Amino acid sequence: MTTGATHSSRSPLGGHAPTQQRVGRTLPFDDARHLLAHRWLVDETYLLDAQDYEVWLELLTDDIHYLMPVRVTTALGAGFDTAPGMAHFDEDRYSLERRVARFATEHAWTEDPPSRMRHYLTNVRTFATEDPDHLVVDSAVLLFRSRGDVRESALVSAGREDLLRRVGDDWRLARRTILVDESVLRMQNLAVFL
Protein backbone atom coordinates (compact mmCIF):
# COMPACT_ATOMS: atom_id res chain seq x y z
CA MET A 1 0.00 0.00 0.00
CA THR A 2 1.35 3.42 -0.85
CA THR A 3 1.85 6.11 1.76
CA GLY A 4 -1.36 8.04 2.31
CA ALA A 5 -3.54 5.13 1.19
CA THR A 6 -5.92 3.11 3.34
CA HIS A 7 -7.27 -0.38 2.81
CA SER A 8 -10.61 1.33 2.18
CA SER A 9 -9.16 3.24 -0.77
CA ARG A 10 -8.43 -0.11 -2.50
CA SER A 11 -11.87 -1.54 -1.73
CA PRO A 12 -14.76 -1.66 -4.26
CA LEU A 13 -17.15 -0.10 -1.71
CA GLY A 14 -14.64 2.08 0.10
CA GLY A 15 -14.78 5.17 -2.08
CA HIS A 16 -16.98 6.99 0.44
CA ALA A 17 -14.82 6.03 3.44
CA PRO A 18 -13.18 8.66 5.62
CA THR A 19 -9.46 8.99 4.90
CA GLN A 20 -8.02 10.39 8.14
CA GLN A 21 -4.81 8.63 9.15
CA ARG A 22 -2.53 8.43 12.14
CA VAL A 23 0.15 11.04 12.70
CA GLY A 24 3.09 10.71 15.04
CA ARG A 25 3.72 8.16 17.72
CA THR A 26 1.20 6.36 19.88
CA LEU A 27 -0.49 8.43 22.55
CA PRO A 28 0.68 7.68 26.10
CA PHE A 29 -1.49 5.17 27.94
CA ASP A 30 -2.47 7.85 30.48
CA ASP A 31 -3.52 10.33 27.77
CA ALA A 32 -7.23 11.16 28.11
CA ARG A 33 -7.79 10.40 24.41
CA HIS A 34 -6.28 6.93 24.74
CA LEU A 35 -8.34 6.18 27.84
CA LEU A 36 -11.47 7.34 26.03
CA ALA A 37 -10.74 5.19 22.95
CA HIS A 38 -9.91 2.14 25.06
CA ARG A 39 -13.11 2.47 27.07
CA TRP A 40 -15.11 2.92 23.84
CA LEU A 41 -13.70 -0.35 22.45
CA VAL A 42 -14.37 -2.25 25.68
CA ASP A 43 -17.98 -1.01 25.78
CA GLU A 44 -18.42 -1.97 22.11
CA THR A 45 -16.99 -5.44 22.80
CA TYR A 46 -19.63 -6.07 25.44
CA LEU A 47 -22.37 -5.10 22.97
CA LEU A 48 -20.96 -7.53 20.39
CA ASP A 49 -20.74 -10.34 22.95
CA ALA A 50 -24.36 -9.70 23.97
CA GLN A 51 -25.32 -9.56 20.28
CA ASP A 52 -27.08 -6.25 20.96
CA TYR A 53 -26.65 -5.19 17.35
CA GLU A 54 -29.39 -2.55 17.31
CA VAL A 55 -27.51 -0.58 19.98
CA TRP A 56 -24.19 -1.36 18.25
CA LEU A 57 -25.48 0.31 15.07
CA GLU A 58 -25.95 3.51 17.06
CA LEU A 59 -22.17 3.60 17.56
CA LEU A 60 -21.53 3.87 13.79
CA THR A 61 -21.29 6.96 11.61
CA ASP A 62 -23.44 7.34 8.51
CA ASP A 63 -20.33 7.00 6.29
CA ILE A 64 -18.95 3.91 8.08
CA HIS A 65 -16.76 1.55 6.08
CA TYR A 66 -16.44 -1.94 7.60
CA LEU A 67 -13.79 -3.98 5.78
CA MET A 68 -12.18 -7.37 6.27
CA PRO A 69 -9.89 -8.04 3.27
CA VAL A 70 -8.98 -11.58 2.27
CA ARG A 71 -5.46 -12.32 3.50
CA VAL A 72 -2.98 -13.99 1.17
CA THR A 73 0.43 -15.51 1.73
CA THR A 74 3.06 -13.94 -0.50
CA ALA A 75 6.81 -13.98 -0.87
CA LEU A 76 8.87 -11.64 1.26
CA GLY A 77 8.97 -8.22 -0.37
CA ALA A 78 5.92 -8.78 -2.59
CA GLY A 79 4.42 -5.57 -1.25
CA PHE A 80 0.95 -6.86 -0.38
CA ASP A 81 -0.69 -9.32 1.99
CA THR A 82 -4.35 -8.93 1.03
CA ALA A 83 -6.09 -9.90 -2.21
CA PRO A 84 -6.95 -6.73 -4.15
CA GLY A 85 -10.70 -6.31 -4.55
CA MET A 86 -11.55 -9.32 -2.38
CA ALA A 87 -13.01 -9.17 1.11
CA HIS A 88 -14.94 -11.25 3.62
CA PHE A 89 -16.72 -8.02 4.58
CA ASP A 90 -16.85 -4.83 2.52
CA GLU A 91 -19.79 -2.94 3.96
CA ASP A 92 -21.34 0.45 4.44
CA ARG A 93 -24.04 1.63 6.83
CA TYR A 94 -26.88 0.32 4.67
CA SER A 95 -25.47 -3.23 4.35
CA LEU A 96 -24.68 -3.41 8.07
CA GLU A 97 -28.25 -2.34 8.90
CA ARG A 98 -29.61 -5.01 6.54
CA ARG A 99 -27.47 -7.69 8.19
CA VAL A 100 -28.70 -6.67 11.64
CA ALA A 101 -32.33 -6.60 10.45
CA ARG A 102 -31.94 -10.10 9.01
CA PHE A 103 -31.02 -11.48 12.45
CA ALA A 104 -34.62 -10.77 13.54
CA THR A 105 -36.13 -12.88 10.74
CA GLU A 106 -36.60 -16.62 10.25
CA HIS A 107 -33.98 -16.41 7.47
CA ALA A 108 -31.11 -15.97 9.93
CA TRP A 109 -30.50 -19.72 10.13
CA THR A 110 -26.75 -19.24 10.61
CA GLU A 111 -27.49 -17.71 14.01
CA ASP A 112 -30.46 -19.83 15.09
CA PRO A 113 -29.75 -20.84 17.76
CA PRO A 114 -27.45 -17.89 18.44
CA SER A 115 -23.73 -18.39 18.84
CA ARG A 116 -22.10 -18.01 22.22
CA MET A 117 -19.30 -15.50 21.75
CA ARG A 118 -16.56 -13.78 23.64
CA HIS A 119 -14.39 -11.06 22.10
CA TYR A 120 -11.02 -10.73 23.82
CA LEU A 121 -9.62 -7.25 23.24
CA THR A 122 -5.98 -6.33 23.82
CA ASN A 123 -2.95 -4.37 22.56
CA VAL A 124 -4.91 -1.11 22.21
CA ARG A 125 -2.83 1.74 20.79
CA THR A 126 -4.24 5.17 19.99
CA PHE A 127 -2.95 7.75 17.52
CA ALA A 128 -3.88 11.36 16.90
CA THR A 129 -4.82 12.53 13.40
CA GLU A 130 -4.54 15.94 11.80
CA ASP A 131 -8.19 16.47 12.76
CA PRO A 132 -8.73 16.61 16.56
CA ASP A 133 -12.21 15.09 16.11
CA HIS A 134 -10.72 11.81 14.84
CA LEU A 135 -8.57 9.14 16.48
CA VAL A 136 -7.01 6.05 14.91
CA VAL A 137 -7.05 3.06 17.25
CA ASP A 138 -5.21 -0.22 16.71
CA SER A 139 -6.25 -3.30 18.67
CA ALA A 140 -5.99 -7.06 18.64
CA VAL A 141 -9.12 -9.16 19.00
CA LEU A 142 -9.60 -12.87 19.56
CA LEU A 143 -13.12 -14.16 18.96
CA PHE A 144 -14.20 -17.38 20.69
CA ARG A 145 -17.41 -18.75 19.20
CA SER A 146 -19.41 -21.81 20.15
CA ARG A 147 -22.48 -23.01 18.25
CA GLY A 148 -24.92 -25.66 19.38
CA ASP A 149 -23.93 -28.62 21.53
CA VAL A 150 -21.98 -30.85 19.18
CA ARG A 151 -19.73 -28.69 17.02
CA GLU A 152 -16.26 -27.72 18.13
CA SER A 153 -15.73 -24.13 19.12
CA ALA A 154 -13.93 -21.80 16.74
CA LEU A 155 -11.39 -19.01 17.14
CA VAL A 156 -10.61 -16.03 14.94
CA SER A 157 -7.57 -13.89 15.68
CA ALA A 158 -7.27 -10.47 14.04
CA GLY A 159 -5.79 -7.03 14.21
CA ARG A 160 -8.09 -4.06 13.75
CA GLU A 161 -7.53 -0.46 12.75
CA ASP A 162 -10.45 1.76 13.71
CA LEU A 163 -11.18 5.39 13.03
CA LEU A 164 -13.23 7.00 15.78
CA ARG A 165 -14.98 10.32 15.15
CA ARG A 166 -16.33 12.79 17.69
CA VAL A 167 -20.01 13.46 16.99
CA GLY A 168 -21.33 16.00 19.49
CA ASP A 169 -20.45 14.65 22.93
CA ASP A 170 -20.07 11.04 21.73
CA TRP A 171 -17.62 9.04 19.64
CA ARG A 172 -18.63 6.90 16.68
CA LEU A 173 -16.90 4.28 14.56
CA ALA A 174 -16.22 5.76 11.10
CA ARG A 175 -13.94 3.06 9.66
CA ARG A 176 -12.89 -0.44 10.68
CA THR A 177 -10.32 -2.57 8.89
CA ILE A 178 -9.97 -6.12 10.19
CA LEU A 179 -6.86 -8.08 9.21
CA VAL A 180 -7.30 -11.72 10.21
CA ASP A 181 -4.22 -13.74 11.06
CA GLU A 182 -5.10 -16.68 8.81
CA SER A 183 -5.51 -16.82 5.05
CA VAL A 184 -8.04 -19.67 5.37
CA LEU A 185 -10.76 -19.14 7.97
CA ARG A 186 -11.80 -22.31 9.79
CA MET A 187 -15.09 -20.96 11.08
CA GLN A 188 -18.26 -22.59 9.73
CA ASN A 189 -19.73 -19.21 8.74
CA LEU A 190 -18.94 -15.58 9.39
CA ALA A 191 -22.35 -14.13 10.21
CA VAL A 192 -21.03 -12.21 13.23
CA PHE A 193 -19.14 -8.95 13.70
CA LEU A 194 -15.51 -8.59 14.80
10 Å CB burial of residue 135 (0-12, 13-18, 19+) is buried
Alpha helices in 50-146 (DSSP H): 53-57, 93-103
CA distance linking residue 154 with residue 187, whole number of Å = 6
CA distance linking residue 8 with residue 46, whole number of Å = 26
Average pLDDT along the chain: 86
pLDDT attached to residue 74: 62
Which tens digit of pLDDT belongs to each residue from 11-26? 766 677 888 999 999 9
Are 136 and 162 in contact by the 8 Å Cβ rule? The answer is yes
Which tens digit of pLDDT belongs to each residue from 12-63? 666 778 889 999 999 999 999 999 999 999 999 999 999 999 999 999 999 9
Amino acid in position 54: E
CA angle at 192 for the pair 57 and 154, rounded to the nearest 5°: 150
pLDDT attached to residue 91: 92
Instruction: Say if residue 64's pLDDT is above 50.
Output: yes
